Amino acid sequence: MAERAAAPQKKGLEGIVAGNTSLSVIDGQQGLLSYCGYNIHDLVKGSFEETAYLLLNHKLPTQMELDEFNKQIEGESSLSREVIKMIQSLPNGTNAMAALRGVFSTLGYYDDESEDNSGEANRRKAIRLIAKTPIAVTTFQRSRNGQEPLMPKSGKSIAWNFLYMLFGEEPSDAKVELMDTVLILHADHGFNASTFACRVIAATLSDIYSAVTGAVGALKGPLHGGANERVMNMLLEINDVDRTEAWIRNALANKVKIMGFGHRVYKTEDPRATHLRGMSKGLAEDTGESKWYEMSQIIENIMVNEKGINPNVDFYSASSYYMMGIPIDLYTLIFAISRVSGWTAHFLEQMSDNRLIRPGSTYIGERDLEYIPIDQR
């Protein structure tokens, strides 16, 4: 039977409400984002672990609950020999996000609970994924540089350990604080493309590893998480404060989309960009490497004042990460290290009140054509 005819939709499901969530809400007119009722401007005063706990439990932890949660994360903070071997056997030049996609899938093979869809098992797997993702990312980075993986140190935060495993030295408090803020800001964002992909997979009653594998595939794209590394490549291509204005004007005249600008939901400043702009400015002052921030400011002025398009989360994260010395193709993986908390929280939420997600479509093809046998066509 033909599908029920639907009214023609705006492309890209724009304006369509696809389900309920109590995890995060965006006010695109006012530029507000909260997780479980708490404004992100307040949550950045806490830690990423606190935000992850909030998303998984829909409440802020007491100190005792947070200590216990941190212990659970620490208990899962390792990679099996098989997973390390898989990362080390990736071909030279493997795309970093593709590597993470493979890691998520592989983690599932070596988890005895991977097919157990009980709430308790899924919560344990969520914590496992949050703990293992930064180790997988740094193992990938070290492996392609011919280095052995480093494992996290006990009693340290995810942000601390990520920087330690990435650079092989104990990070400064200032860098840890920046990384912690970055992780809090990227943790959840309504029904964004990767989270929606995760929920669609959850809704078929598949497993959490399949759901995060699908989500990371969606995050990889340049219209979603992949924009941050493209922002940095653009800044590197321009590479000169004095050339910036002409470069951007030329790009706009040629209808090139400027990466790191625009958003489906925000019609004003993305509140995450406010923090990241401050971070980029602070790093420019601290490092004395002001060029990237200055260029970003010129670009923002043109985009906001002349096109009415604001920077999104990816714009100032690019120059910030660059000044922190993070390899450009790992930028989207930092997004994933954080967002895996949101993805897994959405997986749990979807499972707790599930119905298959299966939208209709408006058929725009031909109908009732006469079938002609192949030898007569």
Q: Which residue stretch of 18-26, 72-80, 260-268, 342-350 sits at the interface with ligand COA (rule: CB under 6 A)?
A: 260-268
DSSP 288: S
Applying CB under 6 A, among 61, 190, 260, 342 the residue interacting with ligand COA is 260
Q: Supply angle C-alpha 141, 214, 44, rounded to 5.
A: 65
27 sits in which H/E element = strand 24-27
Q: Which of 188, 359, 192 is nearest to 264 (CA)?
A: 192
39 sits in which H/E element = strand 38-39
Query: Binders of ligand COA among 146-165, rule CB under 6 A?
Result: none
223 part of the interface to ligand COA, by CB under 6 A: yes
Which token pair is 104?
Answer: 């998520």
197 part of the interface to ligand COA, by CB under 6 A: no
Nearest distance from C-beta of residue 335 to ligand COA, angstroms: 10
Q: Tell me whether residue 197 or residue 227 sits nearer to ligand COA (CB atom).
A: 227
Measured between alpha carbons, how far is 347 from 215 in angstroms, rounded to an integer?
11
16 part of the interface to ligand COA, by CB under 6 A: no
Q: Which amino acid is at 92?
A: N
Q: Tell me whether residue 211 or residue 273 sits nearer to ligand COA (CB atom).
A: 273
If one counts every other C-beta atom within 10 angstroms of the C-beta of residue 369, the result is 7
Cβ pair 310, 303 in contact under 8 A: yes
Query: Binders of ligand COA among 313-332, rule CB under 6 A?
Result: 313-314
Measured between alpha carbons, how far is 354 from 374 in angstroms, rounded to an integer?
45
337 part of the interface to ligand COA, by CB under 6 A: no
The set of residues, in sequence order, having a beta carbon less than 8 Å from that of 354 and lying 6+ positions away, is 202, 203, 205
Cβ pair 237, 251 in contact under 8 A: no
End-to-end CA distance of the chain: 27
Q: Tell me whether residue 11 or residue 355 sits nearer to ligand COA (CB atom).
A: 11
227 part of the interface to ligand COA, by CB under 6 A: yes
182 part of the interface to ligand COA, by CB under 6 A: no
Q: Tell me whether residue 178 or residue 313 sits nearer to ligand COA (CB atom).
A: 313
Q: Tell me whether residue 309 or residue 328 sits nearer to ligand COA (CB atom).
A: 309
257 part of the interface to ligand COA, by CB under 6 A: yes
Query: Binders of ligand COA among 106-125, rule CB under 6 A?
Result: none
271 part of the interface to ligand COA, by CB under 6 A: no
342 part of the interface to ligand COA, by CB under 6 A: no
Nearest distance from C-beta of residue 194 to ligand COA, angstroms: 11
Residue with tokens 């990816």: 314
Applying CB under 6 A, among 41, 124, 175, 264 the residue interacting with ligand COA is 264
Measured between alpha carbons, how far is 174 from 49 in angstroms, rounded to an integer?
18
Measured between alpha carbons, how far is 2 from 360 in angstroms, rounded to an integer?
11
Nearest distance from C-beta of residue 192 to ligand COA, angstroms: 8
Query: Binders of ligand COA among 297-316, rule CB under 6 A?
Result: 309, 312-314
Total site size for ligand COA, rule CB under 6 A: 15
C-alpha distances (whole Å) from 67 to each of 47, 128, 351 are 12, 16, 27
Q: Which of 123, 101, 98 is nearest to 113 (CA)?
A: 123
Q: Tell me whether residue 108 or residue 311 sits nearer to ligand COA (CB atom).
A: 311
Polymer length in residues for the chain: 377
Measured between alpha carbons, how far is 27 from 37 in angstroms, rounded to an integer?
12
If one counts every other C-beta atom within 10 angstroms of the C-beta of residue 233, the result is 14
Q: Tell me whether residue 12 or residue 75 sits nearer to ligand COA (CB atom).
A: 12
**Residues annotated catalytic, as ranges:** 263, 314
Q: Which of 233, 278, 275 is nearest to 258 (CA)?
A: 233
Applying CB under 6 A, among 103, 166, 259, 334 the residue interacting with ligand COA is 259
Applying CB under 6 A, among 149, 262, 271, 342 the residue interacting with ligand COA is 262
- The residue at minimum Cβ distance from ligand COA is 262
12 part of the interface to ligand COA, by CB under 6 A: yes
261 part of the interface to ligand COA, by CB under 6 A: yes
Nearest distance from C-beta of residue 314 to ligand COA, angstroms: 5
How far is CA 304 from its chain centroid?
24
Q: Which residues bind ligand COA (CB under 6 A)?
A: 12, 223, 227, 257-264, 309, 312-314
